[in-house]
Amino acid sequence: MTNKTPKFTDKRYADITGRTILYAVLLIMALYYLIPLALMITTSFRSMDEIRLSQLIAWPETWTAEAWRLAWNEAQIGARSERGLKPYFINSILMVVPAVTISTIFGALNGYVLSFWKFKGANLFFGLLLFGCFLPFQAILLPQAMVLGKLGISGSIVGLVFTHVVYGVAFTTLFFRNYYVTLPGELIKAAQLDGAGFWRIFWRIILPLSTPILVVSVIWQFTQIWNDFLFGVAFSDPSSQPVTVGLNNLVNSSTGERRYNVDMAGAIIAALPTLAVYVIAGKYFVRGLTAGSVKG
């Protein structure tokens, strides 16, 4: 009897080599993005005395959360009082929740109509709506400011919600319309034969099938609105400014030497919601983007 040993073929060797190179590249890219975050976290837990006496980039000798307290709460710096991120953070929540909800609902309805209840000029309407996806923020600052002023909601959270809904509905409509056209039209026809109308079909049939694209729309809008700075600084007053503007105020309001630990803690606080959203629901975002890529 002869012992047959499996041959280490060139193809198998190439597969292992390719996989190893791929993992190495992914590891390098992950470290490239994670190392700055790790440095921010460690710096935020160091005292300024320790930062002054040693290098800016170093492991904390003594861990302290004082910088986080100063970044979050109002603090007395010398003879002046400095606002923390807490009121700005609350403003962002009050702005993001309704803006994401309303723009997602409008996007779902628009996509539903443009996919199953087409009217004369629907394609032209969709094309004009998509034009809003390519408009830069700067192009609508002046006309939007005039509209908000005439509506009497300039400098308020309501005005910011209105602005983000108007700007975001083009994107949400694109998401839902491209997803709905992959759904079989026979569902709508069968429901109509059973006597179901516009709203019943939407709530009972279309919306339950929309979970993947709903996740995409919510994550996209949440990220865009939470991270926005330009609209926040242009259309708000000190009582309605979002957290991105608050972070800018925190970093640039210090007189004298910089408080790097407070700046780093503030940046992490401002980024925590979007970071948490992607960590928790990131895989659903990818699934939702690819859910309507193949019609079946």
Cα→Cα distances 154→68, 97, 145, Å: 32, 19, 7
Query: Does 79 have pLDDT greater than 80?
Result: no
Q: Of 177, 173, 175, 149, whose CA–CA distance to 162 is shortest?
A: 149
pLDDT at res. 7:
52
pLDDT bucket at 232, cuts 50 / 70 / 90: very high
pLDDT bucket at 173, cuts 50 / 70 / 90: very high
Query: Does 295 have pLDDT greater than 80?
Result: no
- Separation between Cα atoms, residue 222 and residue 82, nearest integer Å: 28
> Which tokens is 281 given?
């629901």
pLDDT 10s digits, 139-169: 889 999 999 999 999 989 999 999 999 999 9
- Separation between Cα atoms, residue 254 and residue 225, nearest integer Å: 27
How many of the other CB atoms lie within 10 Å of CB of 153? 17
pLDDT bucket at 296, cuts 50 / 70 / 90: very low
Higher per-residue confidence, 129 vs 77: 129
Task: Give the type of residue at 212.
Answer: P
Higher per-residue confidence, 126 vs 102: 102
CATH of domain 86-291: 1.10.3720.10
pTM for the model stands at: 0.83
pLDDT at res. 282:
74
- Separation between Cα atoms, residue 138 and residue 130, nearest integer Å: 17
Q: Kindly list the domain boundaries of the chain, sorted by start residue.
A: 10-69, 86-291
pLDDT 10s digits, 94-104: 999 999 999 99
235 contacts 244 by C-beta, under 8 angstroms: no
